[in-house]
Amino acid sequence: MDFFDPKIPKKKVMVEILHTHSSQYLLKCVLFLNTNSKYSEVKPETMQEFLHNCGQFIPTRQATSDNYNDTANANLISLYNVNSIIYIKELNTCTPDELKDLSNIQITLNNKSSLKLSISKSTMGNRLAEYVNSPSLFLKFIKGKSYIHLNKNYIFSIRNT
């Protein structure tokens, strides 16, 4: 049974996933986003839209190289439970405009590890509390020059630094 129909156009996004079954390493894989956002017909679906609308399981293709079009593993699709994903890190870098006007924060996870991240003030809005209490399961932050989409279920606390 083929879980992924290659006839439906998709945008392939290379990511690293940290999941609860092995917090020792990051799983490098490809996610398949829609080429058209349901909120904007002229732009591709964003990672936040994908994560907000994906359902319980997300289809991924494990990457054996940095090649998006790895045909050797084109049919090796796995479905991952979003409740087991701690975070998803996009491997594409942010644009210089996205790195302007950032607030630095420290997040403590349920396992007592901490992450030093940043958030764009335009993403956050007026108050951090309103952003983290939004209905989305995943929150978008910046680490270095990459986006991290953190599952709220694994956050113990957040504080400004």
Q: Is the pLDDT of residue 53 over 60?
A: yes
The CA R_g of the chain, rounded to the nearest whole Å, is 16
Written as one letter, the residue type at 22 is S
pLDDT score of 54: 85
pLDDT score of 6: 56
Residue 89 pLDDT grade (very low, low, confident, very high; cuts 50, 70, 90): very high
Residues 6+ apart with CB under 8 A from 108: 114, 155, 156, 157, 158
Residue 117: helix, strand or coil by DSSP?
Answer: strand
Q: What pTM did the predictor assign?
A: 0.84
- Give long-range contacts, CB 8 A cutoff, 24+ apart: 52-59: 52/135, 52/136, 52/137, 52/138, 54/82, 55/82, 56/81, 56/82, 56/83, 57/81, 57/82, 58/31, 58/82, 59/3, 59/4, 59/31, 59/32
Residue range 117-132, pLDDT digits in tens = 999 887 777 788 999 9
Please name the residue that has the structure tokens 């439970």: 81
Least reliable range by pLDDT among 11-20, 57-66, 113-122: 57-66
pLDDT score of 1: 44
pLDDT score of 87: 94
